[in-house]
A and B are shown apart, each in its own frame.
Chain A
Amino acid sequence: MGNWIINHGLSAFILTVWMGINIFLFVYYYQLYNTQESFFYTRHILSSALPWARAPAAVLNFNCMLILLPVCRNLLSLIRGSFMCCGRSLRKPLDKNITFHKCVAYMIALMTAVHTIAHLLNLEWFNNSRDGEYDILSTTLSALGDSANETFLNPIRSTTTTPTYVAFTTIAGLTGVIITLALILIITSSMEVIRRSYFEVFWYTHHLFIVFFAGLVFHGAGRIVRHLETTDPPHNTSFCKDQPLNWGNIPECPIPQFEGGFPQTWMWVLGPMILYICERVLRFIRYMQPVMYRKIVMRPSSVLELQLVKNGFKMEVGQYVFLNCPEVSQLEWHPFTLTSAPEEDFFSVHIRSMGDWTGNLINMLEKLPEGSQGPKMAVDGPFGTASEDVFDYEVSMLIGCGIGVTPFASILKSIWYKFKESNPKLRTRKIYFYWLCRETHAFEWFADLLQVLEKEMTEREMRHFLTYNLYLTGWDSSHAAHVMVHFDKDTDVITGLKQKTHYGRPNWDKEFEQICNENPSSTVGTFLCGPENLAKELERKCVEYSDVDPRKTRFYFNKENF
């Protein structure tokens, strides 16, 4: 539970606050439009469809303001940077930006449905009322504005029109239809199936948001939701509502005057729109900044290592960058985890040939002559929360599963650099590294890296600093036979490392016991980058093996979201 609060508490709190504000806005505006005296006549025609239209409108304003913020990745980076002082749990919710973006989008979709349905009813009832289908008061109110010195309440000014015609000829109606269509297209193209398989469709359709926001800003400009204007002498609704025929003839009831509400939406969305434009401008500037290739290395099993240099680039462990190669695709930006340490004077990424983009890039770079510069590459970033907690524990237990091993490349390198320089920020004395993998050949580059570390550590006679265990979870009998043959060799047959690869999954009880025995009075930080099931198991083990006595071994569990 305590762990849950540390890891998710703030996110849950933010969601609760957001939901609270939504509910408050809905209820507040519902009450306002349902009880306010100046809307008495409007309500007489529209009844409860008026508050049902206006309350979602308020919630929509709020959510349309929020929707752009979580996708401003540079803005988030900036906020993250300014929170540097106050712990990682404060910064962590920033990594869930897309989840929040989706929550806000669902709310917008829901509120749009309610708002649209309510306005469908409104238009129909305005039209019926204009045609004199309701009581005398409604008919009189709808007819206001036909002669001079009168202001209208009913926006339908003709008795021979249809709601459809009105919807397509008023500002509010037309923009409403357009932005709803844009929203529907955006939503249908962002479904999981489309987004995962045909990213381009999702990406380009999402740019209909420009239409959406343009329409949204002008949606209220027609001012067709109208209320009673204060006049002198005042028009007393409770007295006059029963005698509409006497309006203008008796002094208590002058002809009521109406005015439209001030459009508010643009005030809500203007700020985020400007921020978003800044964001896109910044991305463009980043796109223009020159990036130099320091080294291009082809690793085994079609993994490309790019070592890049860019002026003013400052990274931290566990962060990622977006790469864009105009020669492959003008518009596509792809995220990659940084695999270099902050101590190095370049930054590197490992790109595995997986799809069109990576495949094309690797083909292009393979054809390059030795030592030449590659094609133009644009870099945006770095982004993501630094996972610097690793350095705060005396003993760190790092567990990477499959592709989840990538962030540890940076972390391990960085720890090694800090250790060599006896950096005071580093409290770590010992690292246990576990790598669980179905097939290692995809990550041979990582084994290379471990090999280098191993060699350096042996040279400095600090071999005990890093203990690593590789677990191959997918293996068959031919593997086993192969290993049996090479049993006596000094290095492992698969990775070429001194540490032998294990087969199957680790026996966590044994591992925890061993760590307890080897570090009798330490705080151990457990870091996992892997699936949820393993996280649960490790969390349990951490509690189980932690001693109540503060002088003995204690385990702290951290689930990283790289």
Chain B
Amino acid sequence: MGKIEWAMWANEQALASGLILLTGGIVGVAGQFRNWQFAAYGIAAGIFICLLEYPRGCKAKGNGVQRPGQYCLTVCVKAFGPLTRNYYIRALLHAALCVPGAFILCTVLGCVCLAIASIIYLLAAVRGEQWLPILPRAEPREKPGESIKEPPQNPPPRPPAEMRRKRAEDMEGAAYTNPMPVMPNEY
């Protein structure tokens, strides 16, 4: 177990917050709650957070588990460069996004979750982590060498002579025996 990468947890937490904010927003708008405009904001913010957080970042070691079908979003999120790479910015962004959620009850839960995610991101940023995209590594495909077209130059590996299997003592027995007696040709 190596060093803890807090950003991984922050990412899970932020994605969950996005979903909770979205759900709360839908409830608020569908139920036409008082000040439902904040709920509408919750829907927008929830979708935005989900899109931003869906592509999981790379671990420090360079390996990472992708979420199903995240490749497209990875490319999009990567396009923003330092804005999405830096976790300080992400922590600030989430802290700012969560504020309007506190005004009506149905988005409060999403708001608090997002605030927690923001704190975890801040911790990750302080510890020097940053978002790196998981991209399929372009494997340099090795072309078969020219020699494949030519016959091998060297014999296959064989044990040294003294180690080789001993031949059968009687050469007659070791030789190929015909299933039928073969007569010398009389012609």
Contact = CB atoms under 8 A, between A and B. Distances in A.
Contact of B116 (A163, A180, A185): A185
Interface in B143-167: 157-160, 163, 165
Given A164-B108, A185-B13, A193 B163 contact: no
Contacts of A164: 102-105, 108
Contacts of A181: 109, 112-113, 116
A242 interface: no
A191 B108 contact: no
Given A194-B12, A487-B159, A177 B5 contact: no
B125 interface: no
B163 A485 contact: yes
Scoring A121, A192, A193, A488 by chain B CB atoms within 10 A of each residue's CB, the highest score goes to A193
Contacts, number: 99
A187 interface: yes
Contact of B105 (A162, A357, A488): A162
B136 interface: no
B108 A167 contact: yes
A121 B112 contact: no
A507 interface: no
A123 interface: yes
Given A167-B105, A355-B1, A188 B56 contact: no
Interface residues of B, number: 37
A184 B16 CA distance: 8
Contacts of B182: none
Contacts of A194: 8-9, 12
A124 interface: yes
Contact of A198 (B1, B31, B56, B157): B1
A187 B112 CA distance: 15
Interface string B1-39: 110111011001100100010011001100101100000
Nearest to A117: B27
Contacts of B174: none
Interface string A109-147: 000010011001101100110000000000000000000
Given A117-B23, A484-B157, A188 B105 contact: no
A117 B163 CA distance: 80
A356 interface: yes
Given A199-B1, A201-B9, A357-B1, A124 B33 contact: yes
A200 B9 contact: no
Interface residues of A, number: 39
Contact of B106 (A113, A120, A189): A120
Interface string A346-360: 000000000111000
Scoring B1, B12, B27, B106 by chain A CB atoms within 10 A of each residue's CB, the highest score goes to B1
Scoring B9, B27, B163 by chain A CB atoms within 10 A of each residue's CB, the highest score goes to B9
A481 interface: yes
Nearest to B108: A164
Contacts of B13: 184-185, 188-189
A188 B10 CA distance: 9
Contacts of B31: 120-121, 124
B135 to A, nearest CB: 18
Which 7 residue pairs across A and B have the least CB separation, nearest first? A188-B12, A163-B105, A164-B105, A188-B13, A198-B4, A481-B157, A120-B106
Given A120-B105, A194-B9, 17 more contacts: A120-B28, A124-B34, A127-B34, A128-B34, A162-B34, A163-B33, A163-B105, A167-B105, A167-B108, A177-B112, A180-B109, A181-B113, A184-B16, A188-B12, A197-B1, A198-B5, A484-B159
Interface of A: 113, 116-117, 120-121, 123-124, 127-128, 162-164, 167, 177, 180-181, 184-185, 187-189, 191-194, 197-201, 355-357, 477, 481, 484-485, 487-488
